A and B are shown apart, each in its own frame.
Chain A
Amino acid sequence: MAGTEGFDGAIAAIRQDLAAATEGLMAVAEAGLRDVALARAGDGEALSRIESGLLGVLEACALEDLIGQRLTRLQAVAAGARPEAGDPEEEGLLNGPAEPGQGLGQAEADIWLAGGGEP
């Protein structure tokens, strides 16, 4: 059923977002704890690595926005509604985060923005 597919796809994407963010945060915490020990032992680069890790934590917090958008889409799927664009030029452009494996990556977006890509 189309409705179930949209629902299941959104749920799967949310699970994947959560798993990826959790893995990222755990990796930062584990590396940070090692670097704290190294900093105490005199490693001059350890603080830079900790700073870099904390930036990664900040970046991972985008999870709330992405999952929030997926949940909004789930509500719409459950209600049988589709997002409506107020501006006719935006018809079909309000889709929220792509499901895993779909959507452009940053490098591809850069190509299209520069006027490249397939005609």
Chain B
Amino acid sequence: MAVDKAMKILVVDDYKTMVRIVRGLLNQLGFNNVDEATDGPTALSMIGANGYGLVLSDWNMAPMTGFELLKAVRADPKTRALPFVLVTAEAKVENVIAARQAGVNSYIIKPFTHAVLKQKLTAVLGEF
């Protein structure tokens, strides 16, 4: 099935510059329907209220980390299957294993390039 580039995407990061970067790179890839949140609780509320096709989230945020956000999304039957990508500077094996066990779809290590973003989104969503 072709990827719907009009899908709603949520970008979550407590650094607004990083949100702008991810939004800019998504726009370059043809995804222009992008919402943003700078903390986990707000993101969780937005996820519950909107039909997002993808979430891209940082890990190290307060008061709710991206890892906690991922687990909350996976715990809700309505959002359990929502594609969720962690975009993070956390680069230990233990982080990737924990994220995998929590049900993350992909794991992007900062800093990253637009080519890596495209590769990972293709793997999660399909060719576009």
Binding site for B on A (CB under 8 A): 55-56, 58-66, 68-69, 85-87, 89-90, 92-98, 102-106, 109-110, 112-113, 115, 117
Among B13, B15, B63, B108, max chain A CB count under 10 A is at B15
Most buried by B among A63, A64, A106: A106
Known pairs A64-B17, A86-B68, A115-B100; A93 contacts B109 (CB<8 A): no
User: Which residue of the partner chain B has the closest CB to A60?
Assistant: B111
**Chain A residues closer than 8 Å to B94, beta-carbon distance:** 92-93
Q: A63 — which chain B residues lie within 8 A by C-beta?
A: 111
Docked-complex contact B93 and A96, CB < 8 angstroms: no
Decide: B93 and A69 in contact? CB cutoff 8 A: no
- For the complex, is B90 an interface residue (Cβ under 8 Å from A)? yes
Given A58-B25, A112-B100: A66 and B93 within 8 A (CB)? no
| Chain B positions 35 through 58: 1 when the CB is less than 8 Å from some CB of chain A, otherwise 0 | 000000000000000000000000
